Amino acid sequence: MPNIVTSSNYSRSYYTLEELVDRVKGDLGYRNTNVVTSGDVTNWANEAQTTLARETKAFHLIVTSGTTSGVTEYPLPADSLGRAVSVEEVLYSGTPLIPIALNELSARDYWWRTRAAGTPQYYYLRGFSAIGLYPCPDTTDSDTLTVVITATPPQVTAPEDFFYIPTGCDDALIVYCKLMASIKDGYGEGKSRIDFFTREWERCKQEAKQTVGEVAQEEHLRMGENAAFGYECLSPFWVSPNTVATAL
């Protein structure tokens, strides 16, 4: 299994799962009823945590795994500690690889699959299934491949555990749980609260995006080609013509 090495460094909520459940049920007057259960709040809070991670792209992990000589494609990391949403960077033996679309690789070298194994210089993605390396690796190593991913965090289930959320966005989980509780109680008192918490949830998501965006590298000023394409989308063949000519 790949080893996720940075999950413990991610920002956590100020309250535990147990405290969140008590807060939500207490605020809505559900402590002594079965209208909303602790299991409901747990599920909703994890849904909110996942949504915030996906929309803000704030949860990042560094995953290390190995390569096998002669094997081109490797599965994307899928572990209980985090699941990939997108790939930010791939390194082979510490050297960053250049991203390339599979159709572009095929257009430039239709017989690329038959080329001799060597040191990879490019990587391509197979949707959410796999990462492909080109040229095919000629080395078998247990930790030569490093993948930096944007991911969804692990589910929180222990009463004393904290949630994985951007710093300062704790209220978003509470608001989402109250929204879902109101929807569940839509034929009772909750009906009158649905519109309010729907607006609050949208506000919380926008604030979370803004909070993360203000400190993210993606928000830094970029000029020229970077401003037009974004550094992550810049054509790999503009990076080093000599390297490209050699590889392709």
| Domain spans in the chain, listed from the N-terminal domain onward | 14-58+155-219, 60-135
Segment 193-224, tens digit of pLDDT = 999 999 999 999 999 999 888 776 544 434 44
- pLDDT of 86 > 80? The answer is yes
pLDDT average, residue stretch 240-248: 45
Residue 244 CB contacts under 8 Å (≥ 6 apart), including other chains = 236, 237
Residue type, 111: W
Segment 20-78, tens digit of pLDDT = 999 999 999 999 989 999 999 999 999 999 999 999 988 888 888 889 999 999 987 66
Residue with more model confidence, 172 or 75: 172
CA–CA distances in Å: residue 72 to residues 99, 107, 139: 15, 18, 11
Whether the CB-CB separation of 162 and 154 falls below 8 Å is answered with no
Task: Report d(CA 163, CA 15) in Å as an integer.
Answer: 8
Instruction: Pull the structure tokens for residue 97.
Output: 């690889």
pTM for this one?
0.76
Whether the CB-CB separation of 76 and 130 falls below 8 Å is answered with yes
Residue type, 69: S
Residue type, 72: T
Whether the CB-CB separation of 181 and 28 falls below 8 Å is answered with yes
